[in-house]
Amino acid sequence: MLRTQKCFGGIILVAVALGLALIPQQASSRSAGNLAQDINPESVPAFHNTVPTGPLPTTLSPSLFTDPIAQNAYSIAARIKKILYQEPCYCHCDRSQGHGSLLDCYAGKHAAVCGICEREDFYAYEQSHKGKSAAQIREGIERGDWQGVDITKYESVLPAPAK
């Protein structure tokens, strides 16, 4: 009798484990509005699907920073605000600081001390110069392509953009 109970218990445990393994994990969902919702740790951080009709947040002046990488990051952010507004930030500052997109990192001093923000900014800049849309850039950021940015290219202050 004890042997039958152990066998039956083992079968139930295997069945439960198999059932849990076969249930698909919940995908991150995006709300019907502009702001993506951060539901679990693996979900995409906050971003906006479209550019607002009103003004975008102002980025801080690069001259506020002495580090050339930070200066370049803020200079670039000012040039591509519409794109950054539509990108998530994988330092998850949406949770810790209430940011709504990568652009918010550059409206304050946060990006100057965050290598993730800087790399994502440089990645967005490089991809936009290759003709990629904000949505295509976002797909690359979500894949982690920003991690491959060669940060050494930004160790010297970039020239001002041509007008």
pLDDT score, position 100? 82
Q: Which pTM value belongs to this model?
A: 0.71
Q: How many residues does the chain have?
A: 163
Separation of alpha carbons 154 and 163, rounded Å = 21
Q: How many CA atoms within 13 Å lie on the side-chain side of 94?
A: 23
Q: Are 124 and 136 in contact (CB under 8 A)?
A: no
Q: Tens place of pLDDT for every residue, the chain, 163 residues? A: 555 555 555 455 444 443 434 443 332 222 223 333 333 446 887 788 888 889 999 999 999 999 999 999 999 999 999 999 999 888 887 777 778 888 989 999 999 999 999 999 999 999 999 999 999 999 999 999 999 999 999 998 787 776 6
Q: How far apart are the first and last CA of the chain?
A: 87
Domain limits of the chain?
A: 62-154
